[in-house]
Structure 1
Amino acid sequence: LSREAGIVLDNITGGPQVDERGQANVPGIFACGNVLQVHDIVDNVSLEAEYIVEGVAEFLERKFAKKQEVKIELGEGLRYVVPQTLLRLKDTIFSFRVNQPGEKKVFVFNDGKRVIKKKFLRRVNPAEMIRIKLSSSELEEIKTLKVRLV
């Protein structure tokens, strides 16, 4: 159904590639839950749905103003990220899966020039989704967003 609608799919998740609102490349089509990415905890599905419904409301009320498109570039240690792009630099929750288990790992977010945020995790596991929020102030005026696990 997604392919027939012309939606670009993520090669890893199998779900649509989306922006920070959960909107696919086809205007008005939004995705969340297991259609977007496989969730290991049902609470994350509910949280994601609450977050995405704000984007749907903005779309329906025509309150969304696209500022720029920022593609998220994955670096070492990461399997995938959702969302794959940002259109407006607002508070955004990113979902990640790592390539392999590890201990004492740090997520490093940078814009190509400076480190925006570091997030320490005691343990990471490919079976567990990792959710990290970046604030609008952390995303302010970025042109690119690179994320890696060290």
Structure 2
Amino acid sequence: MTEGQVAEDAYTFQSLPVKVDFHGTTDVRENFNAYTTVDTQSGELRNSFRGRALVGLNIALPENYSIALVDLPLSSTDEICPEGKLNKISRTEAYSERPTFDTPSEGASSFVLSDHILVRQVSSHYILWEHDKRMEKAEILNQWIELAQAIHS
């Protein structure tokens, strides 16, 4: 891996339409991915979570777009609500152009986007899951990306 590159597609990002109150770990490949099937006619993915049927779609992001798993470290002034949501982040940063990644230090497996944001994983696609219904969120996401491209071009 060369400087400025991030390991891509080693993991699959999945967006599930559920709220889970669990703060441990699980083997997603064994407990979820192993049960995913593909509908050969529509290309949709099928699975279930806690007895509810799920329909999934592999979303490929447009060129120059990525999805990232990042760590936003808390400072002493940041607070976590009982629901697990961050009330505020005391340090914010704006980027006028696409950020670059520093290579990991010796023995590290992550990349640093800034002094405060640690990039764990990056991918050009993800799986969007919905309860057994039409994929409306995927269409909305594509509309937002098109709108953002029109505004910023």
Report TM bin, short chain. under 0.3
More relative contact order, 1 or 2 (CA 8 Å, 6+ apart): 2
